[in-house]
Amino acid sequence: MARLTKMKLKKIGDKHQALVLVNHPMETGRRKDSKTGELIPAHFIQKMEFKHNGNVVAEANLASGVSKNPLIGIEIVGAKAGDKVEVSWTDNNGESGGTDAAVS
């Protein structure tokens, strides 16, 4: 299933902030379905990777305790207009996604 991944870049002083929102259920594996009473299987993002012009600048190792539709942010120093910022993620069920944006 394709999951929507959005990124917003914002200049703050001499840095750029990259905010990434992923449409993802982030299930812990401990919550019960209210209709059946059965446990809902774990389904969460495990790794998120940020690149600036193809170079990895940050990695986030997430787990089941992160809320649904996580919003993750980093600051990038030295980005210039036209530079490319990419984000990619993978989850515990083998799903993956990502997006990219150009610095303005």
pLDDT tens digits, one per residue of 11-30: 999 999 999 999 999 999 99
Q: Model confidence at 84, in pLDDT bands (50, 70, 90)? A: very high
CATH number at residue 39: 2.60.40.10
Mean pLDDT of 59-69: 95
- How many domains are there within the chain? 1
Task: Look at residue 43 and tell me whether its pLDDT is greater than 90.
Answer: yes
Mean pLDDT of 63-76: 96
- Model confidence, pTM: 0.93
Answer for the pair 88, 96: CB distance below 8 angstroms, yes or no: yes
Distance of alpha carbon 75 from alpha carbon 57, whole angstroms: 9
Range of the domain at 15: 5-45+52-102
* DSSP conformational letter for 5: E
pLDDT at 2: 77
CA–CA–CA angle 44, 65, 8 (5° rounding):
65
